[in-house]
Amino acid sequence: MTKIVLVGAGSLQFGTGMLGDIFQSTHLSGAEIVLHDINLAAAERTLHVAQNHISAHDLDHTISATTDLKSALQGARFVVISIEVGDRFALWDLDWKVPQQYGIAQVYGENGGPGGLFHSLRIIPPILDICQQVMDTCPDATVFNYSNPMSRICTTVHRKFPDLEFVGMCHEIVSLERHLAPLLGVDRSEISYRAGGLNHFSVMTDVTYLRDGSSAYDDVRAKAAAYFGSKPGYSEILQASRKTGASIETEGWMDVDLSQIETVRPWSDRWLFKHVLETFGALPITYDSHFGEYIQWAHDCSDHQGILDFYTYYRNFLGKTDPVIEDTLKERVVPIMEALTGAPSYEEAAVNIPNKGYIPNLPDWICVEVPAIVDENGVHGISVDIPAGIRGLLSNQIGIHDMTAEAILNESRDLAVQALLVDPVVTKSKGMDTLVDHMIAEQSPWLDYLK
């Protein structure tokens, strides 16, 4: 029997999505599932939905909910983390808007730039606490992380716990995969692809026609303007949602129904995307909001309306949905669990793991997002051929990730200031120490450990 612990399962969206994937797996039939959350009422809400589903479908899984992480972890084979702390959107607002008030032109505030730093400083310590309990209780378990900022979390965790099997997972890769086949005018089964970089900061490295093994990248470049230039973005999704009063499902696996949208702004959500494709010859896997966080010149060429509308829609979508357990694959972690426990090996499109040479120019210790072969022996990264210019952009992140980890592990306010000043998005020095002090005060108690 496989024991799976979901940490942060009080979130109905995360909890029901993961449970739906687990319940579909014949390989994980009979699994023991423990829902953990610091909010017992929230965990029991997810538990109630799960128990009803198990009963209605005559499943043989056992499931429980608890606030006691140590007991939850006893005998665990897999641990899945998806947590936030405090009022997530109120804190994200601070991450994004306060640095702007101090003169930093960041386009978003979740994973890269100063916003990504403060998000990291806030969320990584509790994740390290969870990992410490895993090491103390079930050190052979594989831990999957869904929390952001993904690459800084994974880098810091591996620095403190080098022997822990810790893999970062993000479904953003489908923002590439769902578009390739229709762009090329082929069935999904007729092509293969790979991508690599940092989480939310990666590009497609190759795409291949399986019929003859030839590259389809030039065809992607040639057809990108006609396809992406007329594709709806979050501005259109938000407008449609406001008009109908109904949300459009945009999270999760593959297809998104946008058939009700008629009018589209050119290259909606993808002005920076377009610039990177035309200038570097590489196709980003995601939108301006995510990709632009890492780049100091992104403010000049990003779709700011699209970014603001994305945030507004994301905030409203999370607050208004009533998630249910569905027989539709939402994430990609269950196939990895299956392969690790004896199912046939396969190639996974994107995992976040220590580099170990998969991307040249980056140190082995930084966690990169690359494809991987998954089998009973573990998750084995695959090297990807990233264009030199994109490798240069990735290299700008080395010092940021290093100093973020050091600031957290040393509980140092001064190292947090240094982490700001090595970030290329930060183009001034005056007031940065005051900015850090301001955020420590505003985000108390989460940043009180920084001395």
- Cβ-contact 117, 416 below 8 angstroms: yes
Structure tokens at 419: 């982490």
Helices assigned H by DSSP within 57-112 = 69-73, 88-101
Does the model's pTM come out above 0.85? yes
Around Cβ 86, how many Cβ atoms within 10 Å? 12
Q: What's residue 261's pLDDT? A: 86
How big is the chain, counted in residues? 451
User: Tell me: the pLDDT tens digits for 61-109?
Assistant: 999 999 999 999 999 999 999 999 999 999 999 999 999 999 999 999 9
Q: How confident is the model at residue 411 (pLDDT cuts 50, 70, 90)?
A: very high
Please say if 171 is a catalytic residue. yes
Of 171, 200, 275, 401, which one is the catalytic site residue? 171
Upstream peptide bond of 99 is cis (omega within 30 degrees of 0):
no
Written as one letter, the residue type at 403 is: M
Range list of β-strands (E), 142-224: 142-145, 165-168, 191-198, 201-209
Secondary structure letter of residue 411 according to DSSP: T
pLDDT band of 433, cuts 50, 70, 90: very high
**Span 168-187, pLDDT tens digits:** 999 899 989 999 999 999 99
Residue 256 is predicted with a pLDDT of 75
Over residues 225-283, the pLDDT tens digits come to 999 999 999 999 999 888 888 777 776 555 777 777 888 999 999 999 999 999 999 99
Q: What are the C-alpha distances in Å from 303 to residues 145, 267, 307, 450?
A: 29, 9, 6, 35
Q: Alpha-carbon distance 177 to 181, whole Å?
A: 8
- Does residue 148 carry a pLDDT above 90? yes
The reported pLDDT for the residue numbered 321 is: 61
Tokens of 339: 């392969």
User: For residue 103, which phi and psi values (nearest 5 degrees)?
Assistant: 95, 15
For residue 97, what pLDDT is reported?
96
| CA geometry: angle 286, 289, 291, nearest 5 deg | 50
User: How big is the CA angle at 240 (ends 239 and 244), to the nearest 5 degrees?
Assistant: 120
Q: What is the pLDDT of residue 28?
A: 96
> Backbone phi, then psi, for 370, in 5-degree steps?
-140, 160
